[in-house]
Amino acid sequence: MGKLLKGVVKFTAAAAAVGGLCYVFRDKIKETQVYKDYDVDTKIQKVKTTIKEKMPKFFENEEDIVEEDEIFFDDLDHIAENPEKEYVDIEASAEPAVPAEETSEE
């Protein structure tokens, strides 16, 4: 049983690593000739529609389904949406701040 568990763990780790690399390089993968030749986008869309037809109860509340763009927050998108962000200048003063306890004793 130990060998089987080790094999499952190794396979899971390898699959996660491959999936992570594919996610990181997804834009470059979409630009490759093989991706374009096999028309992967239309095939993915066909699979999605087939699943929706076969499992309609699962997709009754489509507003509950979270898109990939909503899961991963992109700082650049947030900056583009809020260009007028307020910043506070931090100035080094010659006098250190005195805690409130010390000022009340004087």
pLDDT, one tens digit per residue, over 28-67 is 998 999 999 999 999 999 998 998 888 877 767 666 666 6
Domain spans of the chain, in order of start: 30-60
pTM of the predicted model as reported, rounded to 2 decimal places: 0.41
Dist. CA 105–CA 96, nearest whole Å: 18
| Closest of 35, 16, 15 to residue 27, by C-alpha | 35
- In this prediction, residue 17 carries a pLDDT of 96
Dist. CA 27–CA 41, nearest whole Å: 13
Q: Residue 80 carries which side chain, given as an amino acid letter?
A: A
At residue 95, the 3 state secondary structure works out as coil
Cα 38 to its chain centre, rounded Å, is 26
* Local confidence band at 21 (pLDDT 50, 70, 90 cut-offs): very high
- In this prediction, residue 64 carries a pLDDT of 62
3-class SS shares of the chain: helix, strand, coil, % to 5: 65, 0, 35
* Local confidence band at 94 (pLDDT 50, 70, 90 cut-offs): low
The gap between the terminal CA atoms of the chain, to the nearest Å, is 74
97 vs 11, which has greater pLDDT? 11
